Amino acid sequence: MADIVIINPRFDISFWGMENCIGLLGKRANLPVACLALLAALVPDQHDVTLIDENVEEIDFARLGLADIVCLTGMSIQGRRMREILEEVRSRGVMTVVGGPMATVEEEALEGLADVVFVGEADNTWPEFLRDWERGCHKNRYEQQEKTDMARLPLPRVDLLKANQYMFGSMQISRGCPFTCEFCDIIVTFGRRPRLKTSEQVLAELESFRRIGLKIIFVVDDNLIGNKKAIKPILRDIIRWQQERAYPLTLFTEASLDLAEDEELMELMGLANFQSVFIGIETPNEDSLRETKKFQNVRPNAGTLVERVHRVQQHGIDVWCGMIVGFDHDDPSIFDVMPKFLAEARVSAALIGMLHAIPTTPLYDRLEKAGRLNDDEASDRYGTNVIPLGMSREELRDGFVCVMQRSYTADAYFQRLDALFIDERFKFVLHQLPYWWSHPWAWTKRAMGNYLRFIIIAGRLLRSVEDDTLRSRYRQQFLRVVGARGLEPHILFIYAIKVAMHYHYAALARAMAQVDDGNGSMPNAGRSFSRRKQPTEAQALAS
């Protein structure tokens, strides 16, 4: 029997992490990476397994020194901390194994730091290694050649997570994406043929989160609707499960923009209580979209980008988006165009980043051949490894910082937020359902709970924000939304979360403004912001 410890290292501050506001929400981290609980489930019963997420608890290295195997999983943004942990654990004579997105796309960066390295998906190779270890004949490198059959995955061990420390839960329904975006490594890692779990697996996972008390779940698929035909029956089963239990869980996910072209799919997602969706819009510059092969965003008969975003919003699904500056067809005018686009689209939360070439992607190969990749020192200085074509590296870095500052001023952010939630009187699908007329007690409980959550979050913000101007602005926003939507408690609750998120985004923008931190390097917050796909990779197994 082995004592196995699986670790997710802490993240630097990032768009997704909500580090600047998570304490105001009463939690220590936004969500656990989905691979932790799945890796634990893949460990045979005869072994003991412990999960450590450094984002919610400190690492006890003395405890690790007693383990038989210490496993790390993580992505490139966690690379510095991964190396520190590996070095410390190895100094104690403990076997170390490492996998995840970083090991898959930057294997050489971990050379000499681990006894065993896993490349690619590891649903089969992780248990294989453990069997080999028991027999004393394990290899030092495992690479799974075949794609995982998602229908054969076990129920993740979410019971091993410190659930009360997280704002959200995380689960995965599918892997893979049918599209060919040049900058994205998802199709390299997971392939272009989406693979899905069964409805039985999905419902069992939802039930497991309900049991441990996590009520908001991020479905971390890089594109939930990659296989529209296959996801629709699963969504119908989720709807049935939710309604049988008075909608205990709120869901959000990532999807491609062609969601706006499928009325049935938008209706099913709304009925399943997917209240928000993150969409990779990337840029309002259609030449740049074609350049990066994001053809699903430039279909001539589907409407403009803004029209499609509005269509999703009109179906009761809030839209977040990813935006990128620095494509070859971008010139400095993009720094004016992008904030205007976000305002017109009424998207309050936009992950804006500089184009970054991830190893193994077609973009990386193209730029490497053209001699357009920064070295490590220049990458730190300019915040990206891409040498832009339509502007200087300084213009890209400074323009990116300017876009962030302009997009996350209180005026710009709340103009976008209020345009949707107050002017357009946005409603989530869930709160327009006839279902609630036949379940008045369940509706009353939900409404009272949301009123209470709104009061708690608003109170914490107004007590904790030290900036007098910002605190006054938040007070004004709360009064405005109460005056406009006071009889809709769920809107108040979500609005309060979005106010807290502004506090996080504004802090990120301020940090990025400090571009010259003594050696000319972009601060960590700026670098972590520049890789849109990484946060979703952190949730994928690839362990």
The residue written with tokens 């050696």 in the block is 519
Nearest-angstrom CA–CA distance, 226 and 408: 31
Say whether pLDDT at 335 is over 50: yes
For 227-270, what is each residue's pLDDT tens digit? 999 999 999 999 999 999 999 999 999 999 999 999 999 999 99
How many domains does the chain divide into? 2
Which contiguous run of DSSP H or E holds residue 406? helix 393-407
Contact 88, 65 (CB under 8 A): no
The whole-number pLDDT of residue 434 equals: 87
> Judging by beta carbons within 10 Å of its beta carbon (0-12, 13-18, 19+), is residue 224 exposed, middle or buried?
buried
Question: Could you say which DSSP state residue 454 is in?
Answer: H
Output the furthest CA–CA distance in the chain (Å, rounded).
68
Q: Domain for residue 480, yes or no?
A: yes
Nearest-angstrom CA–CA distance, 324 and 533: 11
In sequence order, the β-bridge partners of residue 219 are 171, 253
In sequence order, what E strands does 215-289 have? 216-219, 250-255, 274-282
Say whether pLDDT at 26 is over 60: yes
Q: Domain for residue 536, yes or no?
A: no
Q: For the ranges 298-302, 404-408, 428-432, 524-528, which has the lowest average pLDDT?
A: 524-528
> Given pLDDT bands bounded at 50, 70 and 90, which one contains residue 520?
low
Q: Domain for residue 26, yes or no?
A: yes
Q: Domain for residue 359, yes or no?
A: no
For 457-515, what is each residue's pLDDT tens digit? 999 999 999 999 999 999 999 999 999 999 999 999 999 999 999 999 999 998 887 75
Nearest-angstrom CA–CA distance, 215 and 279: 22
The whole-number pLDDT of residue 213 equals: 95
Q: Domain for residue 288, yes or no?
A: no
Query: Helix 393-407 to helix 410-418 angle, to the nearest 10 degrees?
Result: 60
SS3 string, 426-448, reads CCCHHHHCHHHHHCHHHHHHHHH
The residue range of the domain holding 41 is 3-143
Contact 514, 383 (CB under 8 A): no
| CB < 8 Å & 24+ apart, contacts of 21-24 | 21/500, 21/501, 21/503, 21/504, 22/167, 22/504, 23/464, 24/457, 24/460, 24/461, 24/464, 24/500, 24/503
Q: Domain for residue 93, yes or no?
A: yes
Would you tell me how many other CB atoms lie within 10 Å of the CB of residue 293? 15
Q: Which of 101, 117, 143 marks a domain boundary?
A: 143
Nearest-angstrom CA–CA distance, 34 and 403: 32
In sequence order, the β-bridge partners of residue 48 are 3
What CATH number is given to the structural domain containing 66? Answer: 3.40.50.280
Say whether pLDDT at 523 is over 70: no
Residue from 58, 156, 70, 89 nearest 539 by CA = 156
pLDDT, mean of residues 439-448:
94
489: which 2 tokens? Answer: 């408690």
Amino acid at 420: L
Q: Which of 122, 143, 164 marks a domain boundary?
A: 143
- Report percent pLDDT > 70 for the chain: 95
Q: What are the CA-CA distances from residue 84 to residues 26, 90, 95, 197, 214 (Å)?
A: 29, 10, 15, 35, 31
Q: Domain for residue 152, yes or no?
A: no
For 131-163, what is each residue's pLDDT tens digit? 999 999 999 999 999 999 999 999 999 999 999
What single string gives the DSSP state of each residue in 288-346?
HHHHTT-GGG--TTS--HHHHHHHHHHTT-EEEEEEEE--TT--TTHHHHHHHHHHHHT
165: which 2 tokens? Answer: 């420390």
pLDDT, mean of residues 9-24:
90
Q: Which of 116, 143, 170 marks a domain boundary?
A: 143
Would you tell me how many other CB atoms lie within 10 Å of the CB of residue 344? 16
Q: Domain for residue 79, yes or no?
A: yes
Say whether pLDDT at 353 is over 80: yes
Say whether pLDDT at 117 is over 70: yes
In sequence order, what E strands does 102-234 have? 116-119, 141-143, 169-171, 174-175, 195-196, 216-219
Nearest-angstrom CA–CA distance, 130 and 543: 14
Phi, psi of 97 (to 5 degrees): -130, 150
